[in-house]
Amino acid sequence: MAGWLLCIPALVSAQAAATPAILVIPPSVRSAGLGGAAASIIGFAGSVFSNPAGIAPVRSLSLEGTGARFDTASTFFSGAAVVRAGRVNLGGGIRYLSYDDGQPLRDNVEAQSAVTLRVKGIAWGLGAGYVSEEDSAGRVSRTVTAAGALTVYFFDIAALAFSARNLGDWSLAGTELDVPDELRLGFSLNLVDTYSNWRLLATVERIWLGGNGETAAGLEGGAVIKGVGVVLRAGVAGRQGTSPYSPGSLGGSLVLGRAAIDYAYLERRDLSPLHLFGLRWTP
């Protein structure tokens, strides 16, 4: 998995200079099941957390939410929304990591916004981010960041995406947070016609986080008949030495018309497995 799949408990106990734990959580449940690949998995609200140009294919509205429990230390929630306004798509999302009583930190918050301009199958995206961390004594550190992205997509067939997030960070209050630069170069291809009853998509992505590069790849396939079906996915990625996760990941979706219920399973070497749940709706 990409560098953001680090050990959450280790981050909880780290010093203030450590990367906020909210930033090492996968950008979406679907991405987690695909080995961490996210830049070219476009057309859903969750793209605001990985590729600000990835919201371009949304035709009217997209909503997405995620939830997870990290052992007995914290609970994670996120929500994102995208709307279309002519040739421009606007999106935003917020992620919240709440720590249980007795932990060194009280919470982490990440907010992202994105605006995308579409020009003949090419999407140009700009984004702005906000990250905060509050400790158990009530001290809050706040940082803002910027992002830019370019995505070329061919209807529902293929997408090539480059995303650069956390381009510089500016401290607003408290201790300066470590917000590593994130670069993603990804390609995805639907291997069967998405208007048929079958689904088969492959994706590969190179991810650089704070200067460290890793490659992630994933495959998802299934059947959807009259708007109802099941899609399964699996992914594999390189690991940094500090990552407690095994190389593979699994996931799936229950498709219900324009909505989908997502699930991802991440095995961890010295901790219990991580289960992520999500809900997407794109009318």
pLDDT tens by residue, 38-67? 999 999 999 999 999 999 999 999 999 999
pLDDT of 14 above 70: no
- Report d(CA 128, CA 187) in Å as an integer: 24
Q: What average pLDDT does this structure show over 20-26?
A: 85
**Cβ-based neighbours of 273, under 8 Å, separated by 6 or more:** 265, 266, 267
In 3D, which of 26, 70, 72, 69 has the Cα closest to residue 47?
Answer: 26
In 3D, which of 239, 237, 245, 243 has the Cα closest to residue 267?
Answer: 245
Token pair in block for residue 240:
């940094």
Model confidence pLDDT, tens digit, residues 62-80: 999 999 987 778 899 999 9
263 contacts 25 by C-beta, under 8 angstroms: no
Model confidence pLDDT, tens digit, residues 78-131: 999 999 999 999 999 999 999 998 889 999 999 999 999 998 889 999 999 999
Token pair in block for residue 203:
């994706």
Confidence label for 17 from pLDDT (cuts 50, 70 and 90): low
Give the chain's mean pLDDT: 88
The model scores a pTM over 0.85: yes
Token pair in block for residue 282:
């794109």
Q: What letter would DSSP give residue 49?
A: G
Confidence label for 156 from pLDDT (cuts 50, 70 and 90): confident
The predicted pLDDT at position 239 comes to 65
Cβ neighbours of 192 (radius 10 Å): 12
Residue 279, φ and ψ in degrees, nearest 5: -135, 130
95 contacts 65 by C-beta, under 8 angstroms: no
The predicted pLDDT at position 212 comes to 81
Model confidence pLDDT, tens digit, residues 237-263: 886 655 556 788 999 999 999 999 999
- How does DSSP assign 15-36, residue by residue? -TTSPPGGGGS-S-HHHHHTTT
Model confidence pLDDT, tens digit, residues 260-283: 999 999 887 777 788 999 999 999
Which three-class secondary structure state does DSSP give residue 260? strand
- Report d(CA 117, CA 276) in Å as an integer: 31
